[in-house]
Amino acid sequence: MSIHETADAAAAVRWWAELVEVPPERFQRTSLKRHRPLTTRKNIGADYRGCLTIHVVGASRVYWRIEGIMKGMTDEDPPHDR
């Protein structure tokens, strides 16, 4: 997971773990993004939960399954830049 250093990383890990139904212990170390005061961020506040990064080792079939799950969660088509 990647999250800004000013956010609550532990709470975000718990939120993502519950959402994807994976124990927090299975998550890799959180990557903290440095705070840049000159950048105007829109994702701020209590509902900011960072960005979940998924590492998949194996066949592309797993990738397509994850992409299908994400499509179902967002109800949007993935970008067609392949």
In this prediction, residue 80 carries a pLDDT of 65
Residue 81 near residue 30, CB atoms below 8 Å = no
pTM reported for the whole predicted model: 0.58
Tens digit of pLDDT for each residue in 4-53?
887 888 989 999 999 989 999 998 888 888 877 766 767 666 778 888 88
The dihedral built from the CA positions of residue 46, 25, 56 and 74, taken in this order, carries a sign that is negative
In this prediction, residue 25 carries a pLDDT of 92
CA distances from 53 to 29, 38, 39, 40 (A): 11, 25, 22, 23
pLDDT band at 78 (very low <50, low <70, confident <90, very high): low
